[in-house]
Amino acid sequence: MPRVFSGIQPTGEPHIGNYFGAMRNYVALGEQYGKNSIYCVVDLHAPTNPAAFDPALLAARTLDMAVANFAAGLDPQKVIFFVQSHVREHAELGWLFTLLTPVGELERMTQYKDKAQKLESTPAGLLMYPVLQAADILLYKADTVPVGEDQVQHIELTREIARKFNHAYGETFPEPRAVLAEGALRIPGVDGQGKMSKSKGEASTLGILEPLESIWQKLRVAPTDPARVRRTDPGDPDKCLVGDYHKLFSDAETVAEVYAGCRTAGIGCVDCKKKLMVGIGAHLGPIQERAAALQADPDYVRDALAQGAREARAIAQPIMEEARERVGF
């Protein structure tokens, strides 16, 4: 049976990019593989990007990330769901992997370049991020990694690290493969500034747990096809993030209607956005209701995470022991 691993950073509110790009696949794979599907709030990764990290918010954001995943349909009784820092072996295996990874290759990682370029001083941890990510995955000998398209390069590096370790110390780790969401989604931010990302702050994201009124306020002013200046100009819904979002949230009939309406100037952008809100409400409403119930019971969430950490450690510790012995410790 395959073993699934994926992580999500507690660097901010979980957003619809995380949901459609990754979390929905967590749920689907969880249904299929039960306790062989392992999901982790990767809190050790969060401080690598100082621009998106606040120690005072870390605990709450970690809990929110668990709540959002449980509310989205992940059942902690059926899968393994835990917090990375509760399992110390992640950092230990990460150290062993730093010894096998050329700095030059890490410097070529797209995400690193993007994030480093915005910082005045770059922490070494930001460079090491994909090495720790490789340890996250291989600590469970996972071979199946549901992620968004933005992570493919990192999973490629994980494969290389596994190969190098096996070559240097003997066959130990599988070479995992990325499993992309259908359509290999890369969901744009609502501010029109490229990929939606927690690290870009709330202007970029539509949160899964964000009140619908607040979502509407962002959507209302969201850029649409820039060529559509007047209400009577036809637009190109394929060049519009509202068009992209409709494909995620609206039924096929509505998508066809607004796409045709946009191309013929039969519908204005404001009405198109209002129609989108209907789909968003239908999707997020039930998730937000379940989240409210979980938020009212933080002990349940904490207990589930503690149980998840015990289950994760039971798998991780013997694998870490094996890796230590291979290297000679």
Distance between alpha carbon 50 and the CA centroid of its chain, in Å?
18
Whether residue 195 lies in the annotated active site = yes
Interface of this chain with ligand ADP, residues 24 to 63, rule: CB under 6 A: none
C-beta nearest to ligand ADP: residue:
21
Asked if 129 and 95 count as a contact pair (C-beta separation under 8 A), the reply is: no
Q: Find the binder of ligand ADP among 4, 5, 13, 17 (CB under 6 A).
A: 17
State the nearest-atom distance from the C-beta of 257 to ligand ADP, in Å: 25
x/- mask, ligand ADP, residues 132-171, rule CB under 6 A, reads ---------------xx-xx--------------------
CA–CA separation, 253 and 67 (whole Å): 32
Nearest partner of 93 among 168, 173, 147, judged by Cα: 173
Count interface residues toward ligand ADP (CB under 6 A): 19
> Closest distance between ligand ADP and the C-beta of residue 38, in Å?
14
The closest alpha carbon to 14, from 64, 50, 70, 49, belongs to: 64
**Tokens linked to 244:** 């992209």
Give 33's contacts (C-beta < 8 A, 6+ positions apart): 1, 2, 3, 4, 79
| Residue from 86, 164, 195, 290 binding ligand ADP (CB under 6 A) | 195
**Separation between Cα atoms, residue 234 and residue 206, nearest integer Å:** 27
Whether 6 and 145 have beta carbons less than 8 Å apart is answered as yes
x/- string (CB under 6 A) for ligand ADP, residues 249-288? ----------------------------------------
The answer to whether 83 contacts ligand ADP (rule: CB under 6 A) is no
Is 130 a binding residue for ligand ADP by CB under 6 A? The answer is no
Q: Is 198 in the active site? A: yes
Between the alpha carbon of residue 124 and those of residues 50, 91, 135, 233, the distances in Å are 12, 14, 17, 50
CA 323 to chain centre: 28
Token pair listed for 80: 């393994």
Kindly tell me which residue out of 86, 177, 186, 313 binds ligand ADP, with binding defined by CB under 6 A.
186
Task: Find the part of the chain contacting ligand ADP (CB under 6 A) among 18-26, 27-35, 76-84, 240-248.
Answer: 18-26
Taking the complex as a whole, the smallest distance from the CB of residue 25 to ligand ADP amounts, in Å, to 9
Half-sphere exposure of 24 (CA within 13 A, CB side): 17
If one asks whether residue 198 binds ligand ADP (CB under 6 A), the answer comes out as: yes
Q: Does 244 bind ligand ADP (CB under 6 A)?
A: no
User: Residues marked as binding?
Assistant: 9-11, 17-18, 136, 148-150, 187, 195-199
Burial environment of residue 134 by CB neighbours within 10 A (0 to 12, 13 to 18, 19 or more): buried
Q: Does 207 bind ligand ADP (CB under 6 A)?
A: no
CA atoms of 136 and 90, how far apart (whole Å): 6
Taking the complex as a whole, the smallest distance from the CB of residue 197 to ligand ADP amounts, in Å, to: 4
Applying CB under 6 A, which residues contact ligand ADP? 8-9, 11, 17-18, 21-22, 147-148, 150-151, 185-187, 195-199
Q: Cite the active site residues.
A: 115, 195, 198
